[in-house]
Copies of this chain bind each other. A is one copy, B any other.
Amino acid sequence: MKNPLVAPELREHLAENNIEALKEFCGSTHPGVIAEMLSALEIPEIWQVLSHLEPDLRAEIFSHLDVDVQVEMAHLLRRRELASLVSDMPPDDRVDLLKRIPEDQREALLPAIAQAEREDIRKLSSYPEGTAGAVMTSDYATLSPHLTAEEAIAKLRHEAPDKETIYYAYVVDDQRRLIGFISLKDLILAWPKTKVDDMMHRDVISAHVTDDQEDAALKIQKYDLIALPVVNGNDTLVGIITYDDAIDIFSQEHTEDMEKLMAISGSHEAASYVHTSAWVHFKNRSGWILILALLGLVSGYIVQHFEGLLLQVALLATFMPMLADTGGNTGSQSATLVVRALAVNEITPRDTLTVLVKESKVALLLGLLLALFAFARVFLFYEGSVTRPTHSPTLIGLAVATALCLQVLTSTLIGALLPLGAAKLKFDPAVVASPALTTIVDITGLLIFFATTKIMLGV
């Protein structure tokens, strides 16, 4: 993804080796913007720019780079350079990078990092992927309840350069147990001599280290928080998750939901399409496709079982694709709506009855509409059939319409019930991917179609 539109200014300074101009340019622009411009350069060029900057700014810009670029760059740097860079990175970004570099490089790097940072890395890496503990950062500001507003502001001012946010500060007791929080806005509005204890919010909303990262992000969304404190089993404050982490979590979940819906396995990172090799894409996609093709054997057997019926009324074959598609489409629609409603906590498995009633109504309306259409369609195809049907178009039309209506009804209900069942059994409802559903309702659809037409046409 080398973008030819690099900021010409940056490239010019680099070509002329104009270090002063380069430093000034990087100091006056948002680190995220610089990181974006740098991404257009080759890895050694990026380091050439970064090496001239102050360690803090260098680490900040580096943290804004894609983690893939970070990993590539880590290979190029000397141990000491990398150790100093890593030490200056925000704790959560640092752990993300260290998890991605080869183990021997990581082992070689750790001794070059200061004791305190090493301890912090060890703690943050110890939580399993996907938990609140794994996404939190340890750069948060704490206050003692005995401080005055004035003293609290002085403490925050002093600590500000090292903290991810000073807009929320967490009040902890002597055992570092979380007992309240206060915003910088509260402190600024308060009478300078007021005690933190008298003005802090005691109804602090927090997450536990082992909570699902998405649940933590949903709390940040629901309560419009800038940061959410994370505690361990003893109510001890161990980290915070900031709103920008929450946005990244939602973005990752968004990619994951869409990919799962299409039965794609793998890591579901956002923005990894281009970086992922064709072979890994193949591995992520082929698993379910093959399982579904195996399941397709069942449809094959059903068709073969009713071959006699098809030979007698060849017209029926022309309805097979529509029947399968319509079942897959209506089922996937209801499944998608239910999966999403479950994801945003709008419904739980306890609402199954509400969902079934609603879906039955919708399915009945859809079924009747499509049955009417299928009935008309029989007349359209009747004359053109090779084997002149032995039944009247009206009778065939009624049989096909009945089958289609039943198919829409069952597909819609199966589509709604599968994710609810998965949620009930504590599985991710999104595992009921659309392709799997399509294959299932293909099987039920063929059974319904052949059984209905066989009975109604008396073949």
- The interface of chain A, by Cβ under 8 A from chain B, is 1, 28-30, 32-33, 36, 153, 156-157, 160-161, 166-167, 184-185, 188-189, 201-203, 205, 220-224, 226, 243-244, 246-248, 250-251, 253-255, 257-259, 261-264, 270-274, 278-279, 281-282, 285-286, 288-290, 292-294, 296-297, 299-301, 303-304, 307-308, 310-311, 314-315, 317-322, 324-326, 328-330, 332-333, 336-341, 344-347, 351, 354, 358, 361-362, 365-366, 369-370, 373-374, 377, 380-381, 384-387, 434-435, 438-439, 442, 446
A278: chain B residues at CB < 8 Å are 358, 361-362, 365
A153: chain B residues at CB < 8 Å are 188
Contact B296 A321 (CB under 8 A): yes
Contact A264 B344 (CB under 8 A): no
Chain B residue with the shortest CB-CB distance to A36: B222
A358: chain B residues at CB < 8 Å are 274, 278, 281
Chain B residue with the shortest CB-CB distance to A329: B435
A346 in contact with B300 given A325-B438, A438-B328 (CB within 8 Å): no
Contact A221 B246 (CB under 8 A): no
Contact A386 B308 (CB under 8 A): yes
Q: List 16 A-B contacts (CB under 8 A).
A: A28-B202, A29-B203, A32-B224, A221-B247, A221-B248, A243-B243, A258-B261, A274-B354, A285-B330, A285-B333, A286-B366, A286-B369, A300-B318, A308-B386, A325-B439, A332-B435
Contact B344 A289 (CB under 8 A): no
Contact B273 A386 (CB under 8 A): no
Other-chain residue from B189, B203, B222 in contact with A160 (beta carbon distance below 8 A): B189
Other-chain residue from B156, B285, B296, B338 in contact with A325 (beta carbon distance below 8 A): B296
User: Nearest Cβ in chain B — how far from A410, in angstroms?
Assistant: 15
Contact B289 A366 (CB under 8 A): yes
8 nearest CB pairs, A to B? A278-B361, A296-B322, A273-B341, A299-B321, A32-B223, A300-B318, A329-B435, A224-B244
Contact A264 B336 (CB under 8 A): yes
A262 in contact with B369 given A203-B29, A325-B439 (CB within 8 Å): no
A32 in contact with B222 given A318-B304, A321-B442, A333-B263 (CB within 8 Å): yes
Number of copies of this protein chain within its complex: 2
Contact B274 A203 (CB under 8 A): no
A299: chain B residues at CB < 8 Å are 318, 321-322, 325
What separation, in Å, do the CA atoms of A171 and B107 have in the docked complex?
48
Other-chain residue from B161, B259, B282 in contact with A337 (beta carbon distance below 8 A): B259
What separation, in Å, do the CA atoms of A320 and B264 have in the docked complex?
24
Which of A157, A224, A278, A310 gathers the greatest number of chain B CB atoms within 10 Å?
A224
A322: chain B residues at CB < 8 Å are 293, 296-297, 299-300
User: Nearest Cβ in chain B — how far from A276, in angstroms?
Assistant: 9
A220 in contact with B205 given A188-B157, A326-B289 (CB within 8 Å): no
Beyond A253-B254, A262-B332, A304-B384, 8 additional pairs, beta carbon < 8 A: A153-B188, A157-B188, A262-B434, A281-B362, A288-B329, A297-B322, A324-B324, A325-B435
A30: chain B residues at CB < 8 Å are 201, 203, 205, 223
A292: chain B residues at CB < 8 Å are 325-326, 329
A345: chain B residues at CB < 8 Å are 271
A32: chain B residues at CB < 8 Å are 222-224
Contact B274 A300 (CB under 8 A): no
A184: chain B residues at CB < 8 Å are 167, 184, 188
A319: chain B residues at CB < 8 Å are 300
A320 in contact with B303 given A278-B361, A325-B439, A434-B332 (CB within 8 Å): yes
Chain B residue with the shortest CB-CB distance to A345: B271
Chain B residue with the shortest CB-CB distance to A434: B434
What separation, in Å, do the CA atoms of A30 and B204 have in the docked complex?
8
Contact B270 A344 (CB under 8 A): yes
A341: chain B residues at CB < 8 Å are 271, 273-274
Contact B370 A289 (CB under 8 A): yes
User: Nearest Cβ in chain B — how far from A29, in angstroms?
Assistant: 5
Contact A328 B328 (CB under 8 A): yes
Other-chain residue from B185, B253, B297, B370 in contact with A166 (beta carbon distance below 8 A): B185
